[in-house]
Amino acid sequence: MCQEHGLLWLRGMQVDPQFQRQGIGARILGRLDQEIGNRWCCCLPYDHLVNFYRQAGFEPATESLPMALGERLDSYLSRGLKVVAMVRTVESRPNNSCMDSSVKQSLP
């Protein structure tokens, strides 16, 4: 996560392919939920990960994007990256009921 252009960004979250599908990404996302708290946050995940990020309350952006987010999205799309702009608002913060109980128990 970083603060850039007045926005809170979730950036570059990746799990080594040999360790994927073991709940590591979900645990990281759950921990980041605590760090994000009630703040607005954005990310530009690959389009096949939309449902994964929805677990943490991110939704595809449907309204006009802040300039910095729109510019970065356009840049990624022009390079052929299949990404989507997602945002998490205070209203979309999950109550963590969507997280698997084993994920909740493993959070620090």
What pLDDT sits at residue 95? 54
- Containing 106, the helix (H) or strand (E) segment is helix 101-106
Q: Is residue 78 scored above 70 in pLDDT?
A: yes
User: Tell me: the pLDDT tens digits for 42-56?
Assistant: 999 999 999 999 988
Question: Can you give the pLDDT at residue 99?
Answer: 40
